Structure 1
Amino acid sequence: MSDLQALASDAYVYGYPMVFNLDEVDRFTRKGMNAVAPAPFNTFSHATKLAGPDDTFVSVNNDTVYSMAQIDLSAGPLLLTVPGTGGRYYVMQFVDAWTNNFAYVGRRATGTRPGRFLCTPPGWSGKVPQGATRIAFPTTVASIVARWACAGEADIAAVRALQDATALEPYGTPGEAEGLPVADVGVVDVIDGGLMFFEKLRVRMAAFPPAPADIDYQGTFAPLGLLKAVSPYTSPDPELAEALRAGFADGKEKVELATTHGMSPEDNGWKLAYHAFDYNADFFEIGTVTDPAWIVEDRARARVMRAAAARAGLWGNHGYEAAYAMTWNDAAGEPLDGGSSYTLRFEKAPPVDAFWSVTMYDLPEYHLVDNAADRYSIGDRTPGLVRASDGSLTLRLSSERPADETEAANWLPTPPGRFRPVLRMYEPRDAVVTGSYRLPPITRVS
């Protein structure tokens, strides 16, 4: 591998989270996501139902109703107003252009009383209005990902009332919003060549500077043309083009490997991604935890973690808000496949202060799986589950509906091929985070 190719591979791992993230930001402003209609910057789009298989977003949840706002503070600050929820779980997660979770508003972070929050751009030094809490954004473009707990169809109206009471409005005299930087249309790329990826990375790095501690590292990519003011990829030197395309492919393989065989510990085959979003070591606003246990100081390790987290769970929460565990394999280490049937037995329910669920996803896209039962997750709020006399709960994972009615009540449909379930534990208790609560294995039965 040439030095340029190796550098391009590193640049892919470094830049993938921002490129992918801002592609999704662009998508939500122009096309939306089925349940979440498109909305312009600085406007909430509220889903009116739980996500389903038509909501093609990586590892989208089926537990909460989403409200999404793509934020552009280049025009000036915004005032966010949230309603009281009467104890209902909700979380508003603030994610910058580099996918840092830099603030939280919600039941765990700020309680469930009404509140006002002033969202300010980098370098802002104005006066915060009385009764409001400032949230300083690391980048002018960011996302607010809101999740409202919903107990099913009968609960939708109550969620809608909360969504309607949520507001974003300009603070002061707004200027002209800049939006996302535009890549040079002169960059011609083959389907999997990668030149457009590096062009997007070039313009976005310039528009959204990283944390100061990453500036020097970003400078190492100068030989790739990523720091140039004018695109070098419209008529690239053949050697550079070859290195970029090869580095793109190699970097992509690294991210896939880190996603499935990364640094997260395992328990009975589950990857415990409780600390998968700890890569932010620089920006801590309201609702974040600054305990060193939740911060990865090794920046090289954090860059790989960031890429894997974006690939498998973009816009996922820190583990102290929602703990995630996922698996690709059964108890014997064999890949999970819808050609077989499995059981997942919880002797004791996951210890949480909010709620928990197991959600089914396909591979390789990590999307919800269409099925005749119209069931995409099972958890402590699922009606009709059958527990054993000792209180244990055994879930059945299979592509076909079980003939036994008890098993059918506890059935989580799988796709016919490979799949990956995710266990979510909202507001996890210490037993989850410390590992004293052990996750049960998925056992193949036929």
Structure 2
Amino acid sequence: MIKSRRDSVSLYWTCASLAGLAFLAGCAAPPGDSPKSTGWIKDEVADSYVFGYPLVLMSVARDAAVGDSMGQAPVNTLRHAQTLPPVGAANPTTPSLDTLDSTGWLDVGAEPVIVSLPDSHGRYVDARALDMWTNVIWSTAAQIGPHAAGLKAQTIAFVGPGWQGDLPKGITRINVPTRNVWLTVRVQSSSPRDVVAVRRLQRAMRVAPLSAWSNTATAAAPAARAGGNPADVPSAATPAILVAGYDANAFFGRLAQALQDNPPEPVDPHALKTLSDLGVTPGGSAALPSGASDAIAAGLADGHDRVATAPSNLLTGNGWSWFGDGIGNYGPDYSLRAYAAFAQPGIGTRDDEVRATVAVDGDGRALNGANRYQIHFAPNQLPPTRGFWSITAYTKDGALGESAPAHLAVGDRNGLRRNRDGSVDVTVSAVRAKAANWLPVPRADFQLMMRLYAPKPEATDGSWAPPAVVRQ
């Protein structure tokens, strides 16, 4: 059974808004009235943490990725992954084994930044750009046809707030509500033999500010940074781990600074007024209420829990969970936005990608490599995509397991074998299986992620669900 309860989210924020209005009315009480208690602080700290979490996370991720150190690249430069990630916990969480990714952080504060992508000659490529609140402001999903025939050459200009001027002819303008943009271009690679072709496409990608751009055919492409996986962070900690370690002053101080160049979209006067009540103003410092350390700490802890808790409007079925139609453009659904940033950073819209995860079998027991499992796709229940799909196993912490062969996922571009009736059986086991579609897993507790690239509408509207992982 697939479940989705979206109404509860909007109701929650409506109630929160009414509560905020009641609080503001209380502020207008006559001076002779007794002072307010600090009870309101806990709730407002928690609400504001959920509201601001994506911006703080993106700010930390940008700072970790931009620079000249190992694992970094300068701003307005793409960093190209040229090898698939190795096994081990040093990788970013749940790394993909299907694509080689090129990523960059753009700064559109002074002038537009122009991005040129080459013709992929039929190879699956998807590109997307996220603003600093993790909303998808541009993607190539709409260009992918029913059979994912590749990406055509194109040039895009990302234009920041307030810029006025003319762009070169033939360039598509994309308005950006924030100063910074996270750009990702993913090129499908089905085997190590593909690397040469993928690198050729990567070398043809160009990124440059408008003032440094030339649209002549002989212009040399600006230097790009090659590397392992572009989501790597120079320190051992991921951005999510770093943010989780912030105390309230550090978190809200970072939020205050990031708000100066990255206003919320859509603009939410109530959320900004709540932050102001807490002493958090764009471009300033966080002057949290004095004498309320316990309430602030309790609100911060509540905020941590809410960000890491799946909201009720996730789709669920047969033990799997995945994001539905609201993903990528969140509006006032701050709970979904924060959880998506926490659980699946960089996730696109419903047309870009689906990442369904499962950590329990069909009977609700934790998946463990000591057991053998099977996933059976009926002929009419294969993952609905315009692109392709795959399943990858990870440790419970999201790393590629040391005991599993590196770079092995099961999917329709990895030599998938079908039964005579068109159905598909995937054998999930830590021990090598003679079955055609063997998915190796860690020997301890593990999780699976099913990726649908360019999914069809039924993948996110609740009419389809992945089959259960059945213990044998």
Q: With structure 1 as the length reference, what TM-score do the two structures score? A: 0.81
Give the one of 329, 340, 350 matched to 2:383.
350
Give the one of 406, 410, 423 matched to 2:450.
423
Task: Report the 3-state secondary structure (helix = DSSP H, G, I; strand = E; otherwise coil) of the residue aligned with 2:211.
Answer: coil
1:90 aligns with 2:125: yes
Q: What is the letter of the counterpart of residue 391 of structure 1?
A: G
Query: Which has the higher mean CA deviation after the structures are superposed, 429-438 or 314-323?
Result: 429-438
Runs of 4+ in 1 over 6 A off after TM superposition: none
Give the conservation status (yes or no) of the 8 Å contact 2:134–2:328: no
Task: Report the 3-state secondary structure (helix = DSSP H, G, I; strand = E; otherwise coil) of the residue aligned with 2:268.
Answer: helix
Match of 1:71 in 2: 106
2: distance between equivalents of 1:47 and 1:427? 21
Distance change >3 Å, CA 240–CA 405, structure 1 → 2: same
Give the one of 193, 197, 201 matched to 1:162.
201
Residue 376 of structure 1: CA displacement?
Answer: 4.7
Give the one of 376, 390, 393 matched to 1:360.
393
Q: Which has the larger radius of gyration?
A: 2
Give the one of 250, 260, 268 matched to 1:196.
250
2: distance between equivalents of 1:63 and 1:81? 23
Identical aligned pairs, as a percentage? 29
Equivalenced residue count is: 399
In structure 1, stretches of 5+ residues that fail to align are 175-188, 282-298
Distance change >3 Å, CA 56–CA 17, structure 1 → 2: farther
CA RMSD of aligned residues (A): 2.7
1: distance between equivalents of 2:427 and 2:266? 49
Give the conservation status (yes or no) of the 8 Å contact 1:77–1:119: yes
Give the conservation status (yes or no) of the 8 Å contact 2:100–2:188: yes
1:226 aligns with 2:280: yes
1:311 aligns with 2:342: yes
Match of 1:216 in 2: 270
1: distance between equivalents of 2:68 and 2:95? 17
Give the conservation status (yes or no) of the 8 Å contact 1:401–1:411: no
Give the conservation status (yes or no) of the 8 Å contact 1:273–1:324: yes
Give the one of 84, 89, 94 matched to 1:50.
84
Give the one of 237, 245, 265 matched to 2:315.
265
2: distance between equivalents of 1:369 and 1:65? 20
Give the conservation status (yes or no) of the 8 Å contact 2:279–2:289: no
Match of 2:153 in 1: 114
Match of 1:379 in 2: 411
Q: What is the letter of the counterpart of residue 350 of structure 1?
A: P
Give the conservation status (yes or no) of the 8 Å contact 2:404–2:442: no
Distance change >3 Å, CA 173–CA 427, structure 1 → 2: closer
**1 or 2 for the larger relative contact order (CA 8 Å, sep ≥6)?**
2
1: distance between equivalents of 2:400 and 2:83? 15
Q: With structure 2 as the length reference, what TM-score do the two structures score? A: 0.77
2: distance between equivalents of 1:193 and 1:148? 39
Give the conservation status (yes or no) of the 8 Å contact 1:264–1:276: no
Match of 1:17 in 2: 54
Give the conservation status (yes or no) of the 8 Å contact 1:195–1:241: no
Q: What is the letter of the counterpart of residue 412 of structure 1?
A: L
Distance change >3 Å, CA 17–CA 337, structure 1 → 2: farther
Q: What is the letter of the counterpart of residue 367 of structure 1?
A: A
Give the conservation status (yes or no) of the 8 Å contact 1:58–1:314: no
Query: Which has the higher mean CA deviation after the structures are superposed, 14-23 or 371-380?
Result: 371-380
Q: What is the letter of the counterpart of residue 44 of structure 1?
A: L
1:139 aligns with 2:188: no
